[in-house]
Structure 1
């Protein structure tokens, strides 16, 4: 049913803070991206933590939020919340219920918060009660339905007044970020970021070859086949290793890193393969190369630390995540602030909007140029395995901070507020050329 004008104005008034900012693809100039069929390069031994004398396995240095005693404790709670959230959403979708507006799974709340518009059906009440045996669940009223919020978000995107919009998980309104130079047609609405240009050079030129700083046979900055997530590839970072619906192995990166048919190189200047499945809607593409179910962890110059991929999951508002970039290294202490966000280019994919937004806990660090395509993830409770979430897409010009890892420069800027593509959404949306793909586990 169409939202009447009175309600539309009321919805716009519920938005939080409106910001004007440039959106910056996290790719340095002069990068290339692509890959040939990966035949492998013989056995590739898994790096052993501690193999480099005097270097302990990297711990998460950021302060543990919410009164938890350790990051292990926090991620254990978060995984329980996420499992319950996924179960509730799947049950609602399977039954065709439209009242579920959003879910907040912030571990510091010590409960799952489910926002429902209207009366909760009896079958969902029972399902939620069953989930409450594993984690506390609060069912809270949502002022607007997801359909109403989505209609308002699409209207704002079409107006040209905002560059990114997302429906609020609590059902109170729409979060937006205003397009640079746009005229505001309504009172301020919100607080989410936006997507922009595929500005990186993708002509297929080989980068200046790098080598491993410690003389190792392979490392994050010069990986070999089968490739891991989080390694350098031309001007970007390798994303999750995947098995395409054809059965072929490949590795992801950001779509703004290269066009279909261009050649991707690893950090050492060796050809990886050819770019395929270019998807600007989801800012994803695959490199046709051999890949393995592991991810580079730790600092950006690193031949020692990797983690196995445990599986693939959704992001939920309130989740704590990390990212692994070939220029920044691994950064944790990042919290998901919005999910189900879109720019105008991908607005037609509603309700499967592709982006989530995350912010550094103290607004002092974040990914930057060269980290595009890199994996975002959370961890199992023992911190030994990673759960794939997304692929770094872009940062926001009004959130610039000094870079960690490779230092800031005229071609490298970093941002405490950034957007990433939800890989789960792309793999489950028929409009994506990556539909039907699976993350390779290790």
Structure 2
């Protein structure tokens, strides 16, 4: 799967100063000096991006967990793809690696067609069906109503996957409790959550994911190479630039022009020559860079373990999905995001990482990754020391929100991932 040698500038720190505490559209922005050295050979080595540290659920290894996780995601995809055939009882689902099972929540009595499908899926993965009070459709409708009516109070809102109600975050508990007192479903409040929209350093064509880019200065990270409407594009975050802007790397080399953007899903496309590979680092080591082929996409479900590859923070793993279909309020509403948390309360992403890859390691070959989405926002209430190429002068957090692959397909119907 390795590409033949190509010229690629190796990453190196510039005189970058990342802006801290600004709105999402400017997160991680800084200045850079132009490169004067000739281009060395770009990194050719692939390497493992397998998580490290204690493995939950009694698994013998992360590889064993990732294999089960992949089975759970495939089963979840089969279920959600066929929901129209089962009636309106679906509430949510989650992977529970600690119990080695996929849990599906359903309001009312599941149909025979649903049970028949589960019978087939249970040949590969354990699945439990548990009762729910509300359907996903009911919860989504009430969530949309509440956050639109209380934009000055609610910072995010999400359906609970067990169908019991909603969870909202706020900076003003008292006023928000009053505002949601007439909600049609139970709403749990979490206080203090503050989502804010959250670059490697000298890439060259064909462009890879995980490299630093910006317009007037380095500010964001490239995500994944895709095709859309017959052309090659780079997927990244909408809050990083506007349509018609010229995207550049930190040395001023032009990547391409922004051709499409959808702020409600925080996804953006740059027209450029891109390839289906991403930059990563061996965990905890930004002095050595590796590259990994993208072999496909993956859905995001609660319980999923992912890694991030921000241009500023480098590669970080053991980040677990805790909520899906989250609407966050960052001055405007971004829908369909995924909430994820680093399980040791270490850096998940920070300023300048916006638009960067969120990926899942292939258990069968840990040198390969699946595209899960692109980094959208950090939660300033969960600040931790930064990692990576610029560990100071930025804000980094253990809780993040990312725009899943489904947001890209919703915003840009017909989009397809480019594999490596």
Structure 1 residue aligned with 2:281: 298
What is the distance in 2 between the residues matched to 1:302 and 1:292? Answer: 23
1:437 correspondence with 2:415: yes
> Closer, same or farther in 2 for the Cα pair 1:67/1:251, shift >3 Å?
same
Q: SS at the partner of 1:354? A: strand
Structure 1 length as normaliser, TM-score?
0.78
1:397 correspondence with 2:380: yes
Q: Structure 2 stretches of 5 or more lacking a match?
A: 1-20, 33-40, 182-186
1:134 correspondence with 2:124: yes
Determine which of 409, 419, 422 is the counterpart of 2:401.
419
Contact 1:373 1:391 in 2 (8 A): yes
What is the distance in 2 between the residues matched to 1:364 and 1:401? Answer: 6
Deviation at 1:191, TM superposition (A): 4.5
1:100 correspondence with 2:97: no
Structure 1 residue aligned with 2:323: 338
Structure 2 residue aligned with 1:320: 305
Alignment of 1:210-289 (within 5 A): 220-233=200-213, 234-244=218-228, 246-289=229-272
> Closer, same or farther in 2 for the Cα pair 1:359/1:22, shift >3 Å?
farther
What is the distance in 1 between the residues matched to 2:202 and 2:288? Answer: 9
What is the distance in 1 between the residues matched to 2:43 and 2:387? Answer: 26
Deviation at 1:182, TM superposition (A): 8.1
> Closer, same or farther in 2 for the Cα pair 1:301/1:223, shift >3 Å?
farther
1:375 correspondence with 2:367: no
1:69 correspondence with 2:68: no
Q: Structure 1 stretches of 5 or more lacking a match?
A: 1-20, 33-43, 50-55, 201-206, 208-219
Counting matched residue pairs gives 375
Per-residue Cα deviation, 1:212-258 (whole angstroms, up to 9, x for no partner): xxxxxxxx3211101111111131100011001x1100111111111
Higher share of residues assigned strand: 2
1:47 correspondence with 2:32: no
Deviation at 1:194, TM superposition (A): 6.5
Contact 2:57 2:97 in 1 (8 A): yes
Contact 1:22 1:396 in 2 (8 A): no
> Closer, same or farther in 2 for the Cα pair 1:293/1:121, shift >3 Å?
same
Deviation at 1:153, TM superposition (A): 1.1
Contact 1:311 1:388 in 2 (8 A): yes
Contact 1:335 1:358 in 2 (8 A): yes
Q: SS at the partner of 1:364? A: coil
> Closer, same or farther in 2 for the Cα pair 1:109/1:31, shift >3 Å?
farther
